[in-house]
Structure 1
Amino acid sequence: MRRVFLVFLLILAIAKSSGFFVQDSEWDNYKAKFGKTYRDLFEETFSRLCYGFNKFEIQNHNDRYKRGIESYRVEVNQFSDLKFVNFVGMFPPTTDIQSNAVPFTVLNTPPQSSFSYTAQGFTSPVQNQGIVCNGGWAYATATTIQIFYASISGNLNSELLSAQNLIDCAGEATSCSKQVPQTAFDYLTKMNQKLYPESEYRNNPTRTQGMCVLPVASTAGKTLRSYSSIEDGNDDMLKSAVNFFAPVVIKINPANFGFMHYKEGLYTQPRPTRNAALYVTVVGYGIDEKTKKNYWLVQNSFGSTWGEAGMMRIEMNSAKPIARSGVFPSE
């Protein structure tokens, strides 16, 4: 025990001398803001050192942003007490499955120059998937289905649909690891299942996959007859689908410090350093007033404190298309 304590003191001394160790008041404020708790002093000290290092990198990035070198700003958030490799490890790579999706074809009618469901008032509240379950595939699927039905019905006050419903019932044994949205869509279409509102099947970002316990005698819930897929790399097809049909779930690689800490501006996709997968929902596209550059509007499930109130704008780039594993409800 004495040896363990001495090792701890050594780690603490190294941390304080590194220049990345933050003051008690700042650290306490961070823990309170994001509800952080740690198993022991070792874990907390290491997390505190990670926070200090990430804060240093954030300041460097934002200095470049002020000078016009970077196109987006980053900020301390719920991931800032993690090592970058641990953040990336939360989103292991996934493999597409043979699904029941109908391939989508670009329409003859050209899409609008800018369009978003958010601007039209058809929204789904930004959710926080937490850090214990990689359930972005379920949150993205629930988001697109809710907005799809809201837009075709004209209902601006549609009820939030449950991602937990999909995590517990559609994800088989991999809901919190390597699951994909096609499984959720197949669960709803091939198995004729309902997606229940969150009021009847509560989201729980603090736990992993649970038992599938569907509401008894419920008359609520949404059903789907079919869904469609987007050709990988075809951003024209993606734009057409978003404009004329529904928000589209895509796979994105979050293995970038800028993505981890994104706050605002036009995110530029870097060459990924590691293979990772996160599912998000493309809810629109537009033109940035300041730079006059085209962008995609993407809804994430990292909570409203991440990004632009939970949203990210990704710069359109024909050399770096974002259409990847895209699926959306079609009927």
Structure 2
Amino acid sequence: MFKLLVFCALFMVMGIGHGFNHGQNLKDFDDFTILYNKLYANTSVRTFANYNFINNRNHIAQHNAQEERKHSTYREAVNQFSDLSLHQIINLFPKAQYTVPAQNSTPTATTEPTDTDFDIITGMGLTIDVEDQGTHCSSSWAYAAAKAIEIMNGIQTAESTPEPLSAQELIDCAGMGTGCTTQNPQTAFDFLKLTGLATAADYPNNNGLATQGVCVTDQILTGIKLEAYSTIKDGDDIALKRFVFNNIPVIVEYNPDTFGFMEYSSGVYVPPKKTKAIGSQFLVVVGYGHDADLDLDYWRCLNSFGTTWGENGYIRIIRSAKYPLAKNAIFPNTL
């Protein structure tokens, strides 16, 4: 009798465990795969992705219920990462490595901030495309570097719609074998002091690659060249705010290895005090402000997860001495 009860219990657990594969859940997952053009190596991989999708969607619903009760300051939503487990996310976004000292230059002269709310993009009337690095290559270092230079170039040339620049060139030509794993923006800037950055039209981005490609050398002889770059000391958010106020896009390293960050949809993101892992995603800080409804100060950052992630590709992160944002911060100084 005891064995029969154990068998029945196991059968019920297995039935519940496989319940995600039926009815509306299956249709929702099929719609998800079509929307994000998902392809899986085999049935087993697809089944695991299906399980992750249902699990993550349930987590999102639970989190948003907490947000509606004012127990959270941001909302989450299904996006291109919703078929990944936390373990897969950690593997996709490893910690960046720094092996060469920065060729730091004296920063551009700046003035102290006077505005409580400031945004480079809207303030300068720029139209900037939000890029999508895809779900196969940890290439934010290249996308952030290209976007920071693109923004600065638009400001310096008074071009309100600057031409998008090629992150793929940086991945292929400056990646040094780690373009999809542990590379960092400083490597991109060092490379661009020697050669030019092509436009994305001339050297197209390819977010379907899981490894860096072969450098197309005839495309990098012309383009925007970086004369100098500067860095900000870790934790110096006062300097970070000052440079942003002076229309300087600053790249920072941020830990993406949490469901909250990966599924972020809107609001002011407050990271958990403890995380299971620390990886690297590079963001371009373009502004700061205050959310009156939440009574929170925030940074506005441009990510490279496409426009379906976050607030049209941007994230607002809490601005507080308890949560310093300036980490391995770097910015183009002179083009």
TM-score of the superposed pair, with normalisation by structure 2? 0.89
CA distance in 1: counterparts of 2:112 and 2:138, whole angstroms = 37
CA distance in 2: counterparts of 1:61 and 1:278, whole angstroms = 23
With over 3 angstroms needed to count, the CA separation of the structure-2 counterparts of 1:39 and 1:306, relative to structure 1, is same
Secondary structure class of the residue paired with 1:128: coil
Which ranges in structure 2 are unaligned for 5 or more consecutive residues? 1-9
Which ranges in structure 1 are unaligned for 5 or more consecutive residues? 1-9
**Residue correspondences, number:** 318
CA distance in 2: counterparts of 1:249 and 1:258, whole angstroms = 21
Deviation at 1:56, TM superposition (A): 1.0
Corresponding residue of 1:52: 54
C-alpha root-mean-square deviation of aligned residues, in Å?
2.1
Structure 2 residue aligned with 1:89, among 83, 88, 91?
Answer: 91
Q: Residue 264 of structure 1 contacts residue 308 of structure 1 at CA under 8 Å; is this kept in 2?
A: yes
Q: Residue 106 of structure 1 contacts residue 240 of structure 1 at CA under 8 Å; is this kept in 2?
A: no
Secondary structure class of the residue paired with 2:48: helix
**Structure 2 letter corresponding to 1:50:** N
Structure 1 residue aligned with 2:146, among 142, 145, 154?
Answer: 142
CA distance in 2: counterparts of 1:178 and 1:93, whole angstroms = 6
CA distance in 2: counterparts of 1:106 and 1:154, whole angstroms = 20
Q: Residue 71 of structure 1 contacts residue 268 of structure 1 at CA under 8 Å; is this kept in 2?
A: yes
Corresponding residue of 1:193: 195
Structure 1 residue aligned with 2:301, among 298, 301, 309?
Answer: 298
Deviation at 1:288, TM superposition (A): 1.6
Q: Residue 15 of structure 1 contacts residue 49 of structure 1 at CA under 8 Å; is this kept in 2?
A: no
Q: Residue 108 of structure 2 contacts residue 333 of structure 2 at CA under 8 Å; is this kept in 1?
A: no
Structure 2 residue aligned with 1:102, among 102, 105, 121?
Answer: 105
Secondary structure class of the residue paired with 1:102: coil
Deviation at 1:168, TM superposition (A): 0.7
Q: Residue 254 of structure 1 contacts residue 278 of structure 1 at CA under 8 Å; is this kept in 2?
A: yes
**Structure 2 letter corresponding to 1:26:** D
Q: Residue 72 of structure 1 contacts residue 265 of structure 1 at CA under 8 Å; is this kept in 2?
A: yes
With over 3 angstroms needed to count, the CA separation of the structure-2 counterparts of 1:15 and 1:76, relative to structure 1, is farther
Deviation at 1:117, TM superposition (A): 1.7
Q: Does 1:326 align with 2:305?
A: no
With over 3 angstroms needed to count, the CA separation of the structure-2 counterparts of 1:24 and 1:108, relative to structure 1, is closer
Q: Does 1:214 align with 2:217?
A: yes
CA distance in 2: counterparts of 1:34 and 1:247, whole angstroms = 30
Q: Does 1:63 align with 2:65?
A: yes
TM-score of the superposed pair, with normalisation by structure 1? 0.90
Q: Residue 20 of structure 1 contacts residue 56 of structure 1 at CA under 8 Å; is this kept in 2?
A: no
CA distance in 2: counterparts of 1:290 and 1:265, whole angstroms = 10
Deviation at 1:17, TM superposition (A): 3.8
With over 3 angstroms needed to count, the CA separation of the structure-2 counterparts of 1:329 and 1:217, relative to structure 1, is closer
Secondary structure class of the residue paired with 2:217: coil
Corresponding residue of 1:316: 319
CA distance in 1: counterparts of 2:17 and 2:45, whole angstroms = 18
With over 3 angstroms needed to count, the CA separation of the structure-2 counterparts of 1:275 and 1:290, relative to structure 1, is same
Corresponding residue of 2:280: 277
Q: Residue 200 of structure 1 contacts residue 215 of structure 1 at CA under 8 Å; is this kept in 2?
A: no
- Superposed, 1:118-267 pairs within 5 Å as 118-120=121-123, 121-189=125-193, 192-207=194-209, 208-215=211-218, 221-267=223-269
Deviation at 1:292, TM superposition (A): 3.6
Deviation at 1:107, TM superposition (A): 4.5
Q: Does 1:28 align with 2:30?
A: yes
Secondary structure class of the residue paired with 1:110: coil
Secondary structure class of the residue paired with 2:244: helix
CA distance in 1: counterparts of 2:106 and 2:19, whole angstroms = 54
CA distance in 2: counterparts of 1:24 and 1:216, whole angstroms = 45
With over 3 angstroms needed to count, the CA separation of the structure-2 counterparts of 1:188 and 1:61, relative to structure 1, is same
**Structure 2 letter corresponding to 1:202:** P
**Structure 2 letter corresponding to 1:101:** N
Q: Residue 107 of structure 2 contacts residue 333 of structure 2 at CA under 8 Å; is this kept in 1?
A: no
CA distance in 2: counterparts of 1:104 and 1:289, whole angstroms = 33
Deviation at 1:290, TM superposition (A): 2.2
CA distance in 2: counterparts of 1:83 and 1:241, whole angstroms = 37
Secondary structure class of the residue paired with 1:263: strand
With over 3 angstroms needed to count, the CA separation of the structure-2 counterparts of 1:24 and 1:245, relative to structure 1, is closer
**Structure 1 letter corresponding to 2:161:** N
Secondary structure class of the residue paired with 2:288: strand
CA deviation vs aligned residue, 1:80-120 (integer Å, no higher than 9, x gap): 11111101211111233312122648855335322112212
Which 4+ stretches in 1 moved above 4 angstroms? 18-22, 103-108, 216-219
